[in-house]
Amino acid sequence: MPGTPARDSLLRGTFETLDPSRPLDDDVLTAIVFGSRTPCPADPRTVRIDLEPLAGEFHSEVWRGRGASRLGTAGPIRYVENGDVFAGWMNIDESRFGGLLEATETAYLALLRLHAESPYRHLWRTWNFLAGINEGQGDDERYRQFCLGRARAFAATQDRRSPATFPAASAVGKKGGPHSLQVCWIAGREAGRTVENPRQVSAYNYPRQYGPAAPKFSRAMVVPGPVHLISGTASIVGHASLHEQDLDAQLRETLINLDALLVQAQPDGQPRSANLDRNSLVKAYVRHRGDAAVVEHTLRERLGGAVPILVLAADICRSELLVEIEVAYHG
């Protein structure tokens, strides 16, 4: 069946409900548990992200590899690796640094240095969760400070012999809680293939008006499997946000962006959409809780009943944006 990840595939993602009384399987790399009350077993491979689930049957995102995984730590980093693939995460308390800029720079320096020296050289996918993402004015806005810290870390660790390859990414805001930066990521031994969206300026080339440093991520990364890891995608065309504060129009534009990216990501460059199926993951972040039902309904209409959908309450990195959608699919 097309799109069905083989049991022995390098990397498989699923949304699941975890049973707190049942240990995680050996092949689990990491389980990202969304929401403060979502049940999960006491296992060091779980990481809780306090974004409230608003729609979707399953509230944990589980990434599995091939064979048993092993735990490790490196400074602030906790990780799991299995010989093929590496999943890492860290939780940085900003109050121990000068601010979000310094916290982000420190976090990403640790991350990038670890991978530069590890067999898992290739950073494939990051998820970034920060509190108060839209707080602060102009270049002091926290998202822009985050971008600056991340960009400095990439610049400091870049190998000048080859151009930088940025991972697929999402960066969204937590609605409350302490000012902590949580980063989760997946890396591998083999390089992925980056994909850009012809409708959008590459994020790493955004002009100065969006902040002192551009967001260092690729629109999508296709990794061995193949698994298509599509970055958080919003109502941005060129580099401009469209349809300010209009949810329906932003959703439509976002889905057009995702279609364009999925076509672009096809290995043979054929102009056809990817076949999202029950083994895909579609995650939507919505700024306003009351918008979750419309987002879920629109996605269901577009994708059918079988595609797993998870809608989370989160702030988006530009204050005029109401929704951001990311996708992972196999095949």
Residue 132 vs residues 124, 184, 217: alpha-carbon distances, Å: 26, 18, 21
Q: Does 169 bind ligand 3EB (CB under 6 A)?
A: yes
CA-to-CA distance for 50 and 147, rounded, in angstroms? 21
* 116-145 positions binding ligand 3EB, by CB under 6 A: 128
Q: Rounded to the nearest whole angstrom, what is the least distance from the CB of residue 66 to ligand 3EB in the complex?
A: 28
Residues in the chain: 331
CB of 99 to ligand 3EB, least distance (A): 18
171 contributes a contact to ligand 3EB by CB under 6 A: yes
Q: How far apart are CA 236 and CA 278, in angstroms?
A: 28
Kindly state the smallest distance separating residue 4's Cβ from ligand 3EB, in Å: 28
The beta-strand segments (E) located in the chain are 12-16, 28-34, 46-49, 53-55, 60-64, 70-74, 77-81, 85-93, 122-131, 168-174, 180-188, 193-195, 220-223, 227-233, 236-237, 240-241, 281-286, 309-313, 323-330
**Stretch of 101-109, 130-138, 164-172, 177-185 contacting ligand 3EB, by CB under 6 A:** 164-172
Nearest CB to ligand 3EB, comparing residues 92 and 169 = 169
| Of the residues 234, 274, 286, 299, which one makes contact with ligand 3EB according to CB under 6 A | 234
In the complex, minimum distance from the CB of residue 206 to ligand 3EB, in angstroms, rounded to a whole number: 7
Any contact of residue 154 with ligand 3EB (CB under 6 A)? Answer: no
- CB of 124 or CB of 217, closer to ligand 3EB: 217
Q: In the block, which residue shows the tokens 């809608």? A: 311
CB of 236 to ligand 3EB, least distance (A): 5
The least CB distance from residue 35 to ligand 3EB, in Å, is 21
317 binds ligand 3EB (CB under 6 A): yes
Q: Does residue number 192 form part of the binding site for ligand 3EB (CB under 6 A)? A: no
Which one from 61, 105, 296, 324 is the annotated catalytic residue? 324
List 215, 224, 308, 331, residue binding ligand 3EB (CB under 6 A): 215
Among 28, 62, 236, 274, binds ligand 3EB (CB under 6 A): 236
Locate 47 and state its tokens: 């990481």
How far is CA 286 from its chain centroid? 15
One-letter identity of residue 281: L
Judged by CB under 6 A, the number of residues near ligand 3EB is: 12
DSSP 6: P
Q: How far, in Å, CA of 176 to CA of 156, rounded?
A: 32
- Gap between the Cα atoms of 173 and 128, Å rounded: 8
The helix or strand, by DSSP H or E, that contains position 51, with its residue range, turns out to be none
Active site residue 296: no
Catalytic residues: 324
Report the interface residues with ligand 3EB, using CB under 6 A: 128, 169-171, 203, 215, 217, 231-232, 234, 236, 317
